[in-house]
Chains A and B, each alone.
Chain A
């Protein structure tokens, strides 16, 4: 009940936007821009013939692969760079140069190296999400409060225990922040990457719908689905933030 009360204003705003959209399309008698109802009808059509699920599945698979690879590399690397000063000063400048390059700029190189199959978008997602996660993890290690490291030193624990019971859990909240950023960027990039080539995915759906007969109802349907799935992915990451072992960092 309280949740409903809180989300009521946002539901109203969305309803108003959809209402204006509908009114404008009707008033201008646009032949090409669809009404909200046309978008819903288009979506149902895609859902019924199954292509919608194929596109969603393809996009999610690519994000899963690229993001998974990025997590597998970024977390160990970030922990290492955070802990070993030499590793940080050696690698950080390179990453700081690579980080601001938009993943879109990598598209020609991705096609050159990996062709137009699945590997290209997976590579692009990897490139897009790996740097923010490396940076956040490194920052996480660097910002471990000294009092905790001192306490560990005081108790004279082994290096393994120091890492497992202090360094990693102390960094975990920042790692999760990095993963949230990384997954957000990954989802942005998969759609962009699928617009270039390939024969599946939500990005492909959008471009293909436009090219194959100006089906703008499907273009907008694709956009809205991308938005909703992005929201869901972020929701999953938020679930990680509510774990008890990391709540200390966010609970203020």
Chain B
């Protein structure tokens, strides 16, 4: 029997509340879960349920009131470059070129930084755009820059908070396929927050459904389908209906 690999991320009884005009708002109440190495976990939940707060805590940008986040068995305190966050708004620096953005996170002592940056620009399909400024690129290309900038520092984990929600439906789908293609080359642990159940089914190995605020894990679904997936397949649609039901949405089938 093989020895059990310890989880990449272990969330232990996290609680978080915010104080607003003397009213205490409990956002997260006792969350526990684990994410294994190389696993792609999607978190879906009703809007305003605290998904982003949860992600900020896991990525280290926010401290929980109680409980702990363990990454590789070490309690997380603060963000670092082993886990890179990608958000809906994006954070590609508009004053740096594509290449300068990719070089940004790479320490000077990394050998062949320039070649590495070029390699990752090519990986996400930005060959030829290395010296362009972000305002010269489309929304989809900006996302590619952001993904390349995250991957070039060789992180262990990607934290994606609604990464493609600002794109139009077609571009979102295209970027999902791009992400899967890249992940098939570089196996990362990924945590994805999304409100789009189909996106979660398309991408994730496991889907956690959060309850309305205060957030708890209400249900967990494995997504056993092999890639490339067809979200329109009957099995995937059945899963979608089941997840939507957990979210309190019933629809005529």
Residues of A within 8 A of B104 (CB): 152, 155, 157, 161, 165
Which residues of B33-89 have CB atoms within 8 Å of chain A's CB atoms? 59, 61, 78-81, 83-85, 87, 89
With A and B bound together, what is the CA distance between A147 and B88 in angstroms? 10
CB-CB under 8 A for A148 and B81, given A247-B133, A248-B134, A251-B135? no
Residues of A contacting B87 in the complex (Cβ-Cβ under 8 angstroms): 147
B203 part of interface (Cβ distance < 8 Å): no
Stretch at the interface among B90-98, B111-119, B180-188, B243-251: B90-98
- Determine the distance from Cα of A155 to Cα of B103 in the docked complex, in whole angstroms: 11
Q: Which residue in B90, B105, B133 is a CB contact (below 8 Å) of A147?
A: B90
Cα–Cα distance between A172 and B96 once the two chains are bound (Å): 13
B193 contacts the other chain (CB 8 A): no
Q: Assuming the A-B contacts A156-B80, A165-B104, A170-B95, are A150 and B133 also in contact, with contact meaning beta carbons closer than 8 angstroms in the complex?
A: no
- Which of chain B's residues have a CB closer than 8 A to the CB of A148? 91, 93
**B153 at interface, CB cutoff 8 A:** yes
Give the nearest-CB partner of B92 in chain A.
A151
Query: Are the CB atoms of A147 and B89 closer together than 8 Å?
Result: yes
* Residues 132-148 of chain A, each 1 if its beta carbon lies under 8 Å from chain B, else 0: 00000000000000011
Q: Classify the interface of chain B: helix, strand, loop or mixed.
A: loop
Smallest distance from the beta carbon of B229 to chain A beta carbons, Å?
Answer: 30
Query: Chain A at the B interface: mostly helix, strand, loop or mixed?
Result: helix
Q: How far is the CB of A55 from chain B (nearest CB, A)?
A: 40
- Distance (Å) between the CB of B152 and the closest chain A CB? 10
- Complex CA gap A251/B81 in Å reads 31
Q: How large is the interface on A (under 10, 10 to 19, 20 to 34, 35 or more residues)?
A: 20 to 34
Give, as a whole number of angstroms, the nearest-CB distance from B223 to chain A. 28
Interface size class of B (residues with CB under 8 A): 20 to 34
Question: Complex: how many Å from CA A161 to CA B107?
Answer: 10
Q: Which residue of B lies closest to A153 (CB)?
A: B79
- Cα distance A150–B150 when bound, in Å? 13
User: A residues within 8 A CB of B91?
Assistant: 147-148, 150-151
Q: Please encode chain B, from 2 to 42, with 1 for each CB lying within 8 Å of some chain A CB and 0 for all others.
A: 00000000000000000000000000000000000000000
Q: What chain B residues lie within 8 Å of A244 (beta carbons)?
A: 133
Residues of B with C-beta under 8 A to A166: 93
In the complex, how many angstroms separate the beta carbon of B135 from the nearest chain A beta carbon? 5
Q: Is A154 an interface residue (CB 8 A)?
A: yes
Q: How many A-B residue pairs have CB under 8 A?
A: 61
Tell me, in angstroms, the Cα distance from A59 to B85 when the chains sit together: 53
Kindly list chain B residues whose C-beta atoms are within 8 Å of the C-beta of A161: 104
Determine if A169 is an interface residue (Cβ-Cβ < 8 Å). yes
**Shortest distance from the beta carbon of B29 to any chain A beta carbon, whole Å:** 25
Collect the chain B residues with CB atoms within 8 Å of residue A155's CB.
81, 84, 104-105, 153
A104 interface residue per 8 A CB criterion: no
Using CB atoms, name the residue of chain A closest to B82.
A156
CA distance A151 to B105 in the complex (A): 9
CA distance A9 to B83 in the complex (A): 58
Chain B residues within 8 Å of A172, by CB = 95
Within the assembled complex, what's the spacing in Å between the Cα atoms of A157 and B104? 8
Per-position binary interface string of chain A over residues 167-185, scored 1 when its CB falls under 8 Å from any chain B CB and 0 otherwise: 0011010000000000000
Docked complex: A198-252 residues within 8 A CB-CB of B: 244-249, 251
Q: How far is the CA of A47 from the CA of B79 in the complex (A)?
A: 66
Cβ–Cβ < 8 Å partners of A157 in chain B: 104-105
Shortest distance between the CB of B193 and any CB in chain A (Å):
16
Q: Which residues of A contact B84 (CB under 8 A)?
A: 154-155
Across the interface, name the chain A residue whose C-beta is closest to B91.
A151
Q: Is the Cβ of A245 less than 8 Å from the Cβ of B85?
A: no
Q: How far is the CA of A170 from the CA of B161 in the complex (A)?
A: 24
Q: Which residues of A are found within 8 Å of B89, using beta-carbon distances?
A: 147
22 inter-chain pairs at a CB distance below 8 angstroms, sorted by A residue, are: A147-B90, A147-B91, A148-B91, A151-B91, A151-B93, A152-B104, A153-B78, A153-B79, A154-B80, A154-B84, A154-B85, A156-B79, A156-B81, A156-B105, A157-B105, A165-B93, A166-B93, A169-B96, A172-B95, A244-B133, A245-B133, A246-B95
Binding site for A on B (CB under 8 A): 59, 61, 78-81, 83-85, 87, 89-91, 93-96, 100, 104-105, 133-135, 153
Binding site for B on A (CB under 8 A): 147-148, 150-157, 161, 165-166, 169-170, 172, 244-249, 251
Known A148-B93, A154-B79, A247-B135; 11 more pairs at CB < 8 Å: A147-B90, A148-B91, A153-B79, A154-B105, A155-B81, A157-B104, A161-B104, A165-B93, A165-B100, A244-B133, A249-B94
